[in-house]
Structure 1
């Protein structure tokens, strides 16, 4: 007989793939597919000679630039191809490592957020804070450089996760605040010391919005708000 503890034995009935919500898988596949296309083009497998410039072309077409927002405000023109940038810039990263880091955080935080708030709320948190973060970045930055990648969406999920942890009486609040504070300080230091532009503005804006939106998106929040209105 084996002395192996039953709890240590492998579960042959476990799912071969990490169980994630469908929306999280959709986001991960979109990011992975985009990076795969850039890699294949850079290797000359697709796109021909022009394939080596696909990432740069994608940045110019789908990335967010403060100068573009400034032009729209000054000219009072809001063409769809520029408005799309608020939603499309998270899909285009500066490189494969940048994309992989975003994917890792989205997988972990997306699963947690979907479990606590539902996939509808997760969709809102993945889109709205990042778009508004880009708008604030466009208003406050000097107008140089591009805003790329899903980091603002990740920070929005961090904010929502932090609110959820704070509401759980079983969680140590000091540890939660310490973890989030350390993450934000590291992000701010990285932005100030290494990044050539002020894209940390979009990240911190998205984090604040994620934390602020989490209570309103929590299950039963609309019902509770309606109940309060009726009592008044």
Structure 2
């Protein structure tokens, strides 16, 4: 008999729920503080202060490149930017994708794999953004990390299609659609038809590629397949 009182989070890996709670909790504090409901008068500036303190920008990448030093205040930004968002809307979309993709990737690869993909994809997105995006346009929000989980899901679908002899290129339909929409908005923003035009898609695509690549090692049996390929190539 179906359990009607079962929690909707029962089938979602705890690490995914924890990441969502952290992300949404931070956003809730910013939103309530901005409305003057918590924190007093100074809370109005919490979001801006967090973006300045934890956000990422190309200047931080080039500082490390040119100085050869790794100060914690700079290095932390390669990951912390993924937990600070510009609005409640952005946060909700990130959490929805995180819950959906994290559930599927976690069920197939395990909780540790979800956390590894999330972290490495956030870092990979920041590295690509710092290297390829000119100027000092800020990067914030969890989409590069979430796109990494989309990369993990795509890898699983790619393997599944290969097992049944289907066309594996079909696995990339979701990312092709998402990046197509992103590029369209970027172009329309650049020509002034729509507001924005930020180059965040660079970090998102890098996050996807990082997640897809990491999945070769994290998917069950992945190491065995890699070692087998290396032996065959000798």
- Under a length normalisation based on structure 2, what TM-score does the superposition of the two structures give? 0.86
**Residue 108 of structure 1: CA displacement?**
0.2
Question: Is 1:188 the equivalent of 2:183?
Answer: yes
**Contact 2:9 2:17 survives alignment (8 Å):** no
Return the alpha-carbon distance in structure 2 between the equivalents of residues 30 and 204 of structure 1: 24
Matches of residues 71-220 of structure 1 in structure 2 within 5 Å?
71-169=63-161, 173=168, 175-194=170-189, 195-220=196-221
| Structure 2 segments unaligned to the other structure (5+ residues) | 190-195
Aligned residue pair count? 223
Query: Cα distance 1:193–1:226, how it changes in 2: closer, same or farther (>3 A)?
Result: same
Q: Structure 2: how far apart are the matches of 1:180 and 1:73?
A: 31
TM-score scaled by structure 1? 0.87
The equivalent residue for 1:4 is: none
Report how far residue 199 of structure 1 moved. Answer: 1.8
Q: Report the CA distance between 1:173 and its aligned residue.
A: 4.7
Following superposition, the deviation at residue 105 of structure 1 comes to 0.2
Deviations 1:157-179 (A, max 9, x none): 11111121121146775654333
Change beyond 3 A, Cα 1:42–1:133: same
Name which one, 1 or 2, has greater alpha-carbon Rg: 1
